[in-house]
Structure 1
Amino acid sequence: MSWLAGDWTHLGAVAGKAALMYVMALGALRVGERRTLAQWTIIDSVAAVAVGAIVGRTAIASDQSFVTGAVALITLVAMHRVVSVLRSRPRFRRLTDHRIRVLVAHGRVRRRQLMICGLTESDLMAQLRQRGVFELSDVRFVLYEAKGGLTVVSGAHSAAEPPDLIRAGLREAVDVPAGEA
């Protein structure tokens, strides 16, 4: 029966360490950046998985102390903060962030870009329909943003210059259609 419940005397220590690690993680993430949980990038995902592993292991591993878990957790949150600050430098950002991709240009789906992003044409069409776009010919651009969101710019046949923020996204994009950046 020990396989089911383990050592009953040990369960109190597990519960205590789990509660302490929860409070510790809550405090560390509270002092960390809001974006850690709101809009995930690669560094955010890595931090979240690592935090979960540290909290889980510290809570149930009898050979790991609370202090060891707390130090690991604080170190992880501090490293996440350092990397977040370094992301403001373009060279470093290229190591940590995905580049913007142009998935649709002037009403034409760019299948190679979809493939590179791991998306299907069905994925793209579903996202466009959810945004109220029902004619591909009405789409000037679809940008696949660094954090995975889509920006849809209507007016496929418009001769006007794209707005500033769209031009900035096109400049940062990989494999921009000729004459667009």
Structure 2
Amino acid sequence: MWWLTGEWASLGAVVGKAALIYLAALLVLRLSQRRTLAEWTIPDFVTAVAVGAVVGRTAIASTQSFVTGVVALVTFVVLHRVINLARFKPVFGRLLEHQVRVLVAHGRIREDQLRLCGLTTGDLFAHLRQRGVFELSGIRYVLYETTGGLTVVPEEDDAGPVPELVRAGLRESRDFPERTPDRRRG
């Protein structure tokens, strides 16, 4: 029956260590940047998984002390902060983050970009329907953002200039041949 309950005497230590590492994780994450859990870039995801592993292992592993868990937590959060600061340098930013990709341009799906992003047309269509978009002809651009979200830019009837933030996304995008985004494609 030991395999089911473990040693009753050690369960109190597990409760104490679990509570302490949970509180330590709350404190460390509260002191870190909000991005750690709010927007899931690659470094954010890796940090969240690592923190979860440390919290879980520290809570139940009899061979790992609370202090060891806290040191590991602080290390991961400090590394996360350093990597987030490095993202401001263009060379590191390109290494650490996905770049914007244009999935739809002037109502035309860019299948090669969908494949590179690991998305199917079904994924794209589901997102568009959820956003209330039911015709590809009404779309100027769909941008796949660095955080994994999709931005839908409607095709305007007057074909006015592309908004500033959309132009910035197009400039940052990979493999988008249209260098003059205000020009309509025929």
Do Structure 1 and Structure 2 share a fold, with TM-score over 0.5?
Answer: yes
Question: Cα offset for 1:40?
Answer: 1.0
- The CA deviation string for residues 128-158 of structure 1, in whole angstroms up to 9 with x for no partner, is 1111111100101000000011111111675
Q: Find the residue that maps to 1:160 and give its secondary structure.
A: coil
Q: Find the residue that maps to 2:46 and give its secondary structure.
A: helix
- Tell me what 1:20 maps to: 20
- Tell me what 1:88 maps to: 88
| 1:53-92 equivalent positions in 2, closer than 5 A | 53-92=53-92
Question: Cα offset for 1:42?
Answer: 0.5
Aligned residue-pair number: 181
Q: What amino acid does structure 2 have at the position aligned with 1:9?
A: A
Q: Find the residue that maps to 1:140 and give its secondary structure.
A: strand
- Tell me what 1:167 maps to: 167
Q: Does 1:122 align with 2:109?
A: no
CA distance 1:177–1:48, shift in 2 (3 Å)? same
TM-score, normalising length: structure 2: 0.94
Aligned-partner Cα distance in 1 for 2:180–2:157: 13
Q: What amino acid does structure 2 have at the position aligned with 1:57?
A: R
Q: What amino acid does structure 2 have at the position aligned with 1:16?
A: G
8 Å Cα contact 1:170-1:180 kept in structure 2:
no
Aligned-partner Cα distance in 1 for 2:10–2:157: 69
TM-score, normalising length: structure 1: 0.96
Q: What amino acid does structure 2 have at the position aligned with 1:107?
A: G
Q: Find the residue that maps to 1:179 and give its secondary structure.
A: coil
CA RMSD in angstroms, aligned pairs only:
1.2
- Tell me what 2:184 maps to: none
Using the aligned pairs only, state the percent identity: 62
- Structure 2: runs of 5 or more not aligned: 182-186
Aligned-partner Cα distance in 1 for 2:60–2:143: 44
Q: Does 1:113 align with 2:113?
A: yes
8 Å Cα contact 1:102-1:176 kept in structure 2:
yes
Aligned-partner Cα distance in 2 for 1:116–1:157: 31
Q: Find the residue that maps to 2:151 and give its secondary structure.
A: strand
CA distance 1:93–1:110, shift in 2 (3 Å)? same
Question: Cα offset for 1:90?
Answer: 1.2
Aligned-partner Cα distance in 2 for 1:78–1:124: 36
Aligned-partner Cα distance in 2 for 1:148–1:131: 16
- Tell me what 1:132 maps to: 132
- Structure 1: runs of 5 or more not aligned: none
- Tell me what 2:11 maps to: 11
